[in-house]
Amino acid sequence: MYKGVIFDLDGVLCHTDRFHYRAWKKVADEIGVPFDETVNRRLRGVSRLESLEIILEKSRETFSEEQKEQLAEEKNTYYRTLLSEMTPADMEPAVREMLQELRAHGIQIAVGSSSKNAPFIIERLGAEKAFDAVCDGTMITHSKPHPEVFLKAAQALGLEPGECLVVEDAPAGLEAAKAAGMDCAVIGQGPWPEKPEFELKSAAEVAQIA
């Protein structure tokens, strides 16, 4: 049905979202800003600095651009320490098998992630060879919900947007896929800002719809 599938990384192919939570929580606690799962959910798919802006909405203090850069850097340093504990076991075997099945059917596979750490995560997962293209946060000027990351991923695969399926766990990611003119399969509870084409329990189910 599709010539290409573009996967979000955090929350779809692996579960780094819990590491993002721990790292932001540490920074938020240090500056005395309340931070919980509801705020964390709004950060999915959104760039590092935009995530910080969302967290600081609840701060009574104002921070200079330099201080914000420092806080984002601190979060990333701790986040990368947590990421370095990841191993290939952090990608579910059923997800790995699904990627192999897509490949066996001649479907092209890309990653479309807002994360600047995406190549590091893929390396930790030992999944470098599973993808025909990786488009990450270092290659884009606008993060999700802007469609840039998915349009660039499709371009890297040599495909038209209408030939691609996006797989996402974030409201901002679903919006980005729709803005790119792509069908979208979502994983998770929602609420979703738009109607996705598919609602899945796990990325392992993608082989059944692609």
Which residues are the active-site residues?
8, 10
DSSP conformation class of 90: G
Q: Could you tell me if 51 and 68 are in contact, meaning their C-beta atoms sit under 8 angstroms apart?
A: no
Shortest distance (Å) from residue 158 CB to ligand B16: 22
Distance CA 119, CA 177 (A): 21
Site string for ligand B16, 60-99 (x = CB under 6 A): ----------------x-----------------------
Q: What residues numbered 108-147 form the site for ligand B16, per CB under 6 A?
A: 113-117, 137
Torsion angles phi and psi, residue 162, rounded to 5: -65, -10
Please list every residue from 4 through 23 that binds ligand B16, using CB under 6 A: 8-11, 20
The C-alpha atoms of residue 8 and residue 180 are separated, in whole angstroms, by: 14
Parallel/antiparallel/unpaired status of strands 133-135 and 108-112: parallel
| Largest Cα–Cα separation, the chain | 54
Cβ(101)–Cβ(80) below 8 Å? no
Minimum CB distance to ligand B16 smaller for 20 or for 146: 20
Q: How many residues of this chain bind ligand B16 (CB under 6 A)?
A: 20
**By CB under 6 A, is residue 167 in contact with ligand B16?**
no
CB 26 → ligand B16: shortest distance, Å? 14
Tell me the closest approach of the beta carbon of residue 137 to ligand B16, in angstroms. Answer: 4
Residues that bind ligand B16 (CB under 6 A): 8-11, 20, 43-48, 51, 76, 113-117, 137, 170
